[in-house]
Structure 1
């Protein structure tokens, strides 16, 4: 096994273990901290795929900003066991069944995936995750959806200011 394969399997095991700990942890703050570990391991996978830009954006946006926001919200909510509604076993069973169905869909999607020749050619050159290629694809092939999403975000910001503004 090469060092890359060892690192891949280590990051995969770390991501799966941390994701399970997010679900199993009783303390919500511990769950958020385990989720940060998941994001770091996913960023490691991005680096292994030569997608350094995605790795840095994942760390800055998710592990940085979103997780800090989650921690503040959890700390401000003052969660207690007495205030948390207890779920009956039927709801838990429905969650397990829905999770198993989602896993089945994911497995069937992975099995039926077709190999794309263009991405295979880019993988051989090592240029697949570079920012230059991402920019070319974004502004050549997807410029209209990119501009429409920026207008959508701008209108959402204006709407949030209007709603938050006092009379």
Structure 2
């Protein structure tokens, strides 16, 4: 019962945040609403027993990428006086393209049988960080260490390339 209540609260938060991303006039507010949407999607991942995906979603998307978007938007200094006026034909083309995308999505999903598919919530060990860590550091320890050495060499190379003489 509590998972259903949390599901509906998180769903309303995600939909409200997504609508505010689209309808906000200020791009900085759009990024902040998108961060709220990412947090609510991470809540859905936790409800589906996928803690690793939830943490990665928060760290990578809500943390790193949204901060990058926020810095880029602030550095661009977007204001209404510098924004070029959009032609009516461009707006009409955007509406037609969006309508065509919606039509394709509806046509692709019309024959799916959603009622027969159920998600197993809080069952099994799939998605748990403990199981991922065991598998990563036992079976795949050599490729994991090789990739860490590769990332370390890439960071050293980036520092050397970026270093001024």
The TM-score, its normalising length taken from structure 1, stands at 0.70
CA change 1:8–1:109 in 2 (3 A) is: farther
1:50 — aligned with what? 49
Deviation at 1:120, TM superposition (A): 7.0
Deviation at 1:128, TM superposition (A): 3.0
2:101 — aligned with what? 102
Deviation at 1:162, TM superposition (A): 8.9
How far apart, in 2, do the equivalents of 1:16 and 1:35 lie?
10
8 Å CA contact 2:47–2:122 kept in 1: the answer is: no
More displaced 10-residue stretch of structure 1: 82-91 or 122-131: 122-131
Residue segments in structure 1 that go unaligned for 5+ positions in a row: 139-145
Deviation at 1:131, TM superposition (A): 3.7
CA change 1:133–1:20 in 2 (3 A) is: same
User: Which of the pair has the greater relative contact order for Cα pairs under 8 Å at 6+ separation?
Assistant: 2
RMSD: 4.0
Deviation at 1:17, TM superposition (A): 1.3
8 Å CA contact 2:125–2:131 kept in 1: the answer is: yes
How far apart, in 1, do the equivalents of 2:87 and 2:119 lie?
52
How far apart, in 2, do the equivalents of 1:16 and 1:126 lie?
29
Per-residue CA deviation, residues 28-70 of structure 1 (Å, 9 max, x unaligned), is: 1111110111101110111111111100110011111111111
How far apart, in 2, do the equivalents of 1:157 and 1:95 lie?
41
2:68 — aligned with what? 69
1:128 — aligned with what? 126
Per-residue CA deviation, residues 63-99 of structure 1 (Å, 9 max, x unaligned), is: 1111111111111111111111121222222222222
CA change 1:57–1:86 in 2 (3 A) is: same
How far apart, in 2, do the equivalents of 1:49 and 1:87 lie?
43
The structure carrying a bigger helix percent of its residues is 1
1:80 — aligned with what? 79
Deviation at 1:27, TM superposition (A): 0.8
Residue segments in structure 2 that go unaligned for 5+ positions in a row: 137-143
The TM-score, its normalising length taken from structure 2, stands at 0.71
